[in-house]
Structure 1
Amino acid sequence: MKILFRSLLCSLLVLAAGCATTHDQSNAAPPAHVDAKPASAPLLLISIDGYRTDYLARGLSPTLQALADGGVRATDGMQPSFPSLTFPNHYTLVTGLRPDHHGIVNNTMTDPVLGKFSLGNREAVSNGRWWDEGTPLWETVQKQGLKSATMFWPGSEADIHGQHPSDWKPYDGNVTADQRVDQVLAWLDLPADQRPTFITLYFDEVDHAGHSYGPDSPQVNDAIRHTDAALARLVRGLTERGQLDHINLIVVADHGMAHAPTHQMVLVDKLIPLKHVEVVSMGVLAGFNPKPGFDFARIEATLEKPQKHMTCWDKTRVPARLAYGSNPRVPQLLCLADVGWRISSSDYVAKKKTTTQGEHGYDNAAPEMQALFIAHGPAFRQGAQVPSFPNVDVYPLMTHLLDVPAAANDGDYNVVKGMLKPEAQ
């Protein structure tokens, strides 16, 4: 199997030039009284944002396929947590907590003390108080005297509980996939006492193409090819350094992608007067809070009736299987669009013409939302296929691989331990 894998790598694209140019952010050294424990095999967690699990069957990802053939793959994908959005699920992966428990309940949300949070609000994104309901893995690793490094990961720009990863990068979409890979390889080239044991790597081209053009577009196929070429660069770099057989790789997606034609829009202002509510979010998952002086119970009663192309609940009546609604940041009234639909308003549509063709955030059980999971390395079985499992289980798998104590989490190691070789369980 190893010979076949290396043979496949040799047939991939030639090594391209380029290196990461963003500046290092180094801090969060372990307290002086903590003795660094002997490092386990390094763990590299790779996210390909928006890589729907069935994309692998398109035959456009030879590197990913080789990793799967030589390791473990969830054949029907990994189930994201609800809502199937980017920031909530990336933070779930590194905390093992569902969004309702770690507090990043949406890409757009409000907090009575902290105000408003959105992906483009760098002040909020870098404020650790938004993130401190969870304990990210890099914090736990550093408490054990080990080092961590994040090549872009939601949460890593914030001073959560007073610290960042040992090395981290502020998100910059202009940093190419190859440059991101080169930075990871540079971290692995550090002397042993400086080298991170836990590293994350983030790719976003597949997600961007899926939103702009839809999951079945030629542009998504191109993005899949480009990202796989960057992964080939990573594997070649690891092979050249003699590290490929000594590092555990986990490749995941945060969610899938669904075709969402621009005309499939629920205009919620046709059902309720929007000036009578606080609008927290629109899109696939819309959220509304009461506004003083208006009859919110009547608004809830209206929207909780059967609606075309969406379902609405008071947060206390969200189906239990979604594990969502207890966090104070969850809006009082939620409306979830059917797969392929969005929720918006007439004013928004008139002011900003929607041109995107793909969406996520839908019911996390929807086939279109299922996410990639592949694992490869010395701890993992070879050529193994496993059934679908919830993404909260990735966290206890990683703490086991790193031999660090797990923080309180919603995951179950017993669900995923069968991925490992008997001696690694």
Structure 2
Amino acid sequence: MRVIVLALLLVGALQVSHAQEQDQTVVLISIDGFRHDYIEKYDAKNIAAIAEQGARAEGLIPVYPAKTFPNHISIVTGQYPSNHGIVDNRFFDTERQQKYQMGDGVKDSTWLTTLPIWNLAEFQGVKAATFFWPESEARINGRTASYYFNYSKPAPYEQRIDQIVQWLQLPKPARPRLVTGYFSLVDTMGHRFGPDSEQVKEAVSYLDELIGDLWQRLQNDVDAPVNLILVSDHGMTQITAAEMIDPAQLPIDNELFTVVNAQTRLLIYPNQETTEAQVNELRQQLEAMPNRQFVIESEAQLQALNVSQGPRKPSLILGVDAPASFGRGAPEEWRDGGTHGYHSHRDMDGIFIAAGPAIKQQHPLPRFQNIHIYPFMAKLLSLELLTPIDGDETVLQPLILTK
């Protein structure tokens, strides 16, 4: 691994005032599944050095559920899942009578009821570019970012870094001032081997080198004031095969209900002819099960988690705590590993780091929810908010250097 930490500390040290007078650029990078403590746990020196030059939160709190697609969309819209439409990685819509799976918005953008940051920018004359951000290929409100790629998981990570830099080296009329990028490796290794594994350590080290290289090139090879924001959609925690629940053993009549296994939650939707009495009967049967490992989420709890009524809200949600989960596939195939999607606690926290010419250095920042990043980015880009959001611009306003 190239040693670039000392260079990082020197390269970003000066935040020149004239840069603040120019149009600011934002590069938003998501490292999927990067838990809040991985920086210290796995000695991510380059990311730590970037944080020293800007601001780092104690943790980034995911929206409920702590899953990839709902949280990535919340980060770029400032809305809770019930408002932007992507309420889980997989769910059912009782009005459409259709199931959603990750990426279905590319084929049918009506799954999303929202205005992502790249559209907000484009509508106000600011070019945007996205490299694999979830649902960034979807033609939301009739358009995409000026520059984007169709998702291809094998695309080399070095290529993604090169492309981000190349976009920012375009002539000013063609240059995007908002760029988003996405890296899934840490999450993939966390699922397969668990957060305490050597494989996750290696993935963190690899991503740390890539991010360090990106930061250095943003300083040396790009003639624009670039603010880098590093986030993750959620953290990761250990699960065990011994604690997995077999959904097939639950007293759910598939003639009456559609079930979506979200691993940390079981989502139960009534079919079109199912009555409220039958829903209540199933609830009572589930509550009466002896030694059950799950809970049935109460309406009050769901409201507190900002889950609102609508065709994508299940009639019953069964939730569990780690290391339990709902098993997928045949029980003999179940394995220990890691996952996310539980109620917000420290293992579910992601990261938030921001550094650049418009960001105050080493500003102390407590944990906060990721819906507040959208208005922060809009402020950095001098964009006007065009739609109602759930995020609060005052949460991160103190990070921005005044001219």
- Does the alignment pair 1:7 with 2:3? no
- Does the alignment pair 1:310 with 2:309? no
SS in 2 for 1:164: coil
For 1:42 and 1:301, locate their aligned partners in 2 and report how far apart those are by CA, in whole Å. Answer: 55
Contact 1:116 1:124 (C-alpha < 8 Å) held by counterparts: no
Q: Describe the superposition over 1:271-312 as per-residue Cα deviations: whole angstroms up to 9, x where unpaired.
A: 413434211234111101123367221112233568643221
Contact 2:42 2:205 (C-alpha < 8 Å) held by counterparts: no
Q: Describe the superposition over 1:230-274 as per-residue Cα deviations: whole angstroms up to 9, x where unpaired.
A: 112212222321558x21111000000010112211234434134
- Does the alignment pair 1:239 with 2:219? yes
For 2:104 and 2:78, locate their aligned partners in 1 and report how far apart those are by CA, in whole Å. Answer: 25
For 2:204 and 2:101, locate their aligned partners in 1 and report how far apart those are by CA, in whole Å. Answer: 27
- Does the alignment pair 1:362 with 2:342? yes
For 1:157 and 1:144, locate their aligned partners in 2 and report how far apart those are by CA, in whole Å. Answer: 19
Map of 1:228-377 to 2, 5 A cutoff?
A: 228-243=208-223, 246-275=225-254, 276-291=256-271, 292=273, 295-304=278-287, 308-313=292-297, 316-344=299-327, 348-350=329-331, 353-355=333-335, 357-364=337-344, 366-377=345-356
Contact 1:39 1:197 (C-alpha < 8 Å) held by counterparts: no
Give me the CA root mean square deviation.
2.3
SS in 2 for 1:302: helix
Instruction: Tell me the TM-score normalised to structure 2 length.
Output: 0.89
Of 51, 65, 69 in structure 2, the residue corresponding to residue 83 of structure 1 is 65
SS in 2 for 1:150: strand
1:356 Cα deviation from its structure 2 partner: 5.2
Q: Could you tell me which residue of structure 2 aligns to residue 165 of structure 1?
A: 145
CA 278–232 in structure 1, closer or farther in 2 if over 3 Å, else same: same
CA 219–415 in structure 1, closer or farther in 2 if over 3 Å, else same: same
1:349 Cα deviation from its structure 2 partner: 2.7
For 2:198 and 2:378, locate their aligned partners in 1 and report how far apart those are by CA, in whole Å. Answer: 38
* Greater displacement, 259-268 / 122-131: 122-131
Q: Could you tell me which residue of structure 2 aligns to residue 21 of structure 1?
A: none
Q: Describe the superposition over 1:188-240 as per-residue Cα deviations: whole angstroms up to 9, x where unpaired.
A: 11110000011001111000000000000000000001111111221222232
CA 190–344 in structure 1, closer or farther in 2 if over 3 Å, else same: same
Map of 1:211-222 to 2, 5 A cutoff?
A: 211-222=191-202
For 2:237 and 2:5, locate their aligned partners in 1 and report how far apart those are by CA, in whole Å. Answer: 32
- Does the alignment pair 1:193 with 2:173? yes
Q: Describe the superposition over 1:35-91 as per-residue Cα deviations: whole angstroms up to 9, x where unpaired.
A: xxx97211011100000001111253111101111100002x010000000000000
Contact 2:25 2:178 (C-alpha < 8 Å) held by counterparts: yes
Of 87, 90, 102 in structure 2, the residue corresponding to residue 108 of structure 1 is 90
Contact 2:169 2:223 (C-alpha < 8 Å) held by counterparts: no
Contact 2:243 2:324 (C-alpha < 8 Å) held by counterparts: yes
Of 107, 124, 127 in structure 2, the residue corresponding to residue 144 of structure 1 is 124
% identity of equivalent residues: 33
Q: Residue type matched to 2:50 in 1?
A: L
CA 256–63 in structure 1, closer or farther in 2 if over 3 Å, else same: same
CA 5–71 in structure 1, closer or farther in 2 if over 3 Å, else same: farther
Of 40, 43, 48 in structure 1, the residue corresponding to residue 31 of structure 2 is 48
CA 250–313 in structure 1, closer or farther in 2 if over 3 Å, else same: same
Q: Could you tell me which residue of structure 2 aligns to residue 65 of structure 1?
A: 48
For 2:110 and 2:242, locate their aligned partners in 1 and report how far apart those are by CA, in whole Å. Answer: 38
CA 389–304 in structure 1, closer or farther in 2 if over 3 Å, else same: farther
For 2:325 and 2:384, locate their aligned partners in 1 and report how far apart those are by CA, in whole Å. Answer: 41
CA 293–337 in structure 1, closer or farther in 2 if over 3 Å, else same: same
Unpaired runs of 5+ residues, structure 1, are: 12-37
CA 381–53 in structure 1, closer or farther in 2 if over 3 Å, else same: same
- Does the alignment pair 1:404 with 2:383? yes
- Does the alignment pair 1:419 with 2:399? yes
Contact 1:304 1:313 (C-alpha < 8 Å) held by counterparts: no
How many residues get paired?
A: 384
CA 197–116 in structure 1, closer or farther in 2 if over 3 Å, else same: same
Q: Residue type matched to 2:249 in 1?
A: K
- Does the alignment pair 1:155 with 2:103? no
For 1:79 and 1:403, locate their aligned partners in 2 and report how far apart those are by CA, in whole Å. Answer: 25
For 2:50 and 2:10, locate their aligned partners in 1 and report how far apart those are by CA, in whole Å. Answer: 14
SS in 2 for 1:201: strand
Q: Residue type matched to 2:377 in 1?
A: M
For 1:383 and 1:317, locate their aligned partners in 2 and report how far apart those are by CA, in whole Å. Answer: 38
SS in 2 for 1:47: strand
CA 157–215 in structure 1, closer or farther in 2 if over 3 Å, else same: same
